[in-house]
Amino acid sequence: MLRVGIVGIGFMGWIHTLAYRKVKGAKVVAYCEQIEKRLAGDWTDIKGNFGPPGEIMDMKPYACYRDLDALLKNPKIDLVDICLPPGAHATAAIKALKAGKHVLCEKPIALTAADARKMVKTAADTGRQLLIGHVLPFFSEFAYAHKLVTSGKYGKPLGGHFRRVISDPLWLPNFYDPRKVGGPMLDLHVHDAHFIRLLFGMPTAVLSTGRMRGEVVDFFTSQFQFPDQRLTVTATSGCIHQQGRAFTHGYEIHLEKATVLFDSAVIDGKGELNMPVTLLTADGKVTRPVFPAAAAEDAFAAEIGEVVKSLRTGKPSAILNGQLASDALTLCEAQTQSVQKRKLVRI
């Protein structure tokens, strides 16, 4: 049984808590938090843009800490699950790895590519696994696309377009602070940067156009270049400042013998499926797979199941490994530089 200490009782700490309840082979045994009422079990003020609100928790079964160093001294903890604000990821992860713990850290891996590289190196130096919680590939629509591309059933990938746009997240403090959250590029688009890296490999250059908000990119479109010149990959992401459409995302992925489409949104508080996952094949057939109903935390449970497998086998996850997440952050930095410099940036 993998024994887990969750660091940070906020929205993601709550979602991870719900997810662990559905995972065999892992058990939360400890929490670390500085807000006293949450450490005492009052999580009722926790809420986010999906999933159920927090509740009253019985904390008696858990070891509770106000300080990360104290938690790291607990020999019964195998995995430290970091659910802190992004600006604290690198310091906490490096401490945990040096203390001999495996680490699952929420995305983005860090706020700078330099810090991400330090995290990956520390994991290698300590012989511990660093896994980053890029949950997108575990949602049904994206898991289907990932399997479709990697199976090779419909030939090699030719590219695609990815879209992820939100309204101004007024509920999230410090969203546009590059030293705390990182804005739309690192909080939002990093999902697609990771998925693009996962599906197509590492781009060699990127050209992005967009608008800035202070020190961070607010809205942008990017075109990625690859050694295989057939690959045509673009992405659009960022914030619009009309609150009626809280969220929209989707993709169109091209293969040699098929195209797969998906598009959904939240408009006026209601989910709208503009294009269910649809597979168009070269023989003219149209297929729309049906996915089972899922709770908000189910994708996170699947993600944690992948973590358990990775640690049990000793073979780092092909989806959640730290190097892949570091590459995604490198792509985000390059896109920011391209918007700022108004020119192609080589990677």
- Express each pLDDT in 181-230 by its tens digit: 999 999 999 999 999 999 999 999 999 999 999 999 999 999 999 999 99
Closest CA to 228 of 206, 208, 204, 252: 204
> What mean pLDDT is reported for the chain?
96
| Residue-level pLDDT at 280 | 98
What phi and psi values does residue 19 have, to the nearest 5 degrees?
Answer: -65, -40
State whether 130 and 140 are in the same domain: no
Q: What is the mean pLDDT of residues 328-339?
A: 98
242 inside domain: yes
Global pTM value:
0.96
State whether 151 and 284 are in the same domain: yes
233-260 per-position pLDDT tens digit: 999 999 999 999 999 999 999 999 999 9
State whether 49 and 163 are in the same domain: no
| Residue-level pLDDT at 270 | 92
CB atoms within 10 A of CB 270: 8
State whether 156 and 252 are in the same domain: yes
| Residue-level pLDDT at 171 | 79
CB atoms within 10 A of CB 273: 11
- Confidence grade of residue 79 (pLDDT, cut at 50, 70, 90): very high
257 inside domain: yes
Q: Are 110 and 190 in contact (CB under 8 A)?
A: no
309 inside domain: yes
146 inside domain: yes
State whether 10 and 70 are in the same domain: yes
CATH number at residue 13: 3.40.50.720
CA distance linking residue 219 with residue 166, whole number of Å: 10
297 inside domain: no
116-139 per-position pLDDT tens digit: 999 999 999 999 999 999 999 999
State whether 195 and 334 are in the same domain: yes
Domain extent for 223: 136-292+327-346
CA distance linking residue 313 with residue 291, whole number of Å: 29
CA distance linking residue 176 with residue 262, whole number of Å: 28
32-68 per-position pLDDT tens digit: 999 999 999 999 999 877 788 899 999 999 999 999 9
Write the Ramachandran bin of 160: left for phi over 0, alpha for psi from -120 to 50, otherwise beta.
left
| Residue-level pLDDT at 47 | 81
State whether 76 and 164 are in the same domain: no
State whether 274 and 333 are in the same domain: yes
State whether 79 and 152 are in the same domain: no
State whether 269 and 313 are in the same domain: no
| Residue-level pLDDT at 294 | 86
State whether 84 and 143 are in the same domain: no
> What is the percentage of the chain residues whose pLDDT exceeds 90?
95
| Residue-level pLDDT at 173 | 85
Contacts for 61 with CB less than 8 Å, ≥ 6 apart? none
State whether 144 and 125 are in the same domain: no
